[in-house]
Amino acid sequence: FQLKDGPRHVPHYGLLLAGVAGLPSSVIKTAISITSRITEKEVKRMEVNCQQYHPIQMAYRLAQRLICLKYSSQDEDSVRHALQNLKESYIDGRL
């Protein structure tokens, strides 16, 4: 280990510290296994949340852009062009 000034992100530093402190390797292996399962569940949960809320996020972004266009000072052709681009982006899922 090498000490340096400033913050540093070390995932599961407690497990590293446990190894340095001399805890039995079986305990550390069990902790690593549990940590891996928890991390895996968290990643899956986040993926499900992203899939679940993606349509809501797209609708929100669409509404924001429509409101901006409503109050914009652009000419009619520019607004029409922006609406067409917005429609294409929404259909393609790029909002």
User: Tokens 């968290």 map to which residue?
Assistant: 42
Q: How confident is the model at residue 15 (pLDDT cuts 50, 70, 90)?
A: very high
Residue 47: how many CA atoms within 13 Å on its side-chain side? 6
The 10s digit of each residue's pLDDT in 25-54 is: 999 999 999 999 999 999 999 999 999 999
Contact 18, 28 (CB under 8 A): yes
**Could you give the angle at which helices 25-70 and 76-92 cross, rounded to 10 degrees?**
150
Prediction pTM value = 0.55
Query: What letter represents residue 78's amino acid?
Result: S
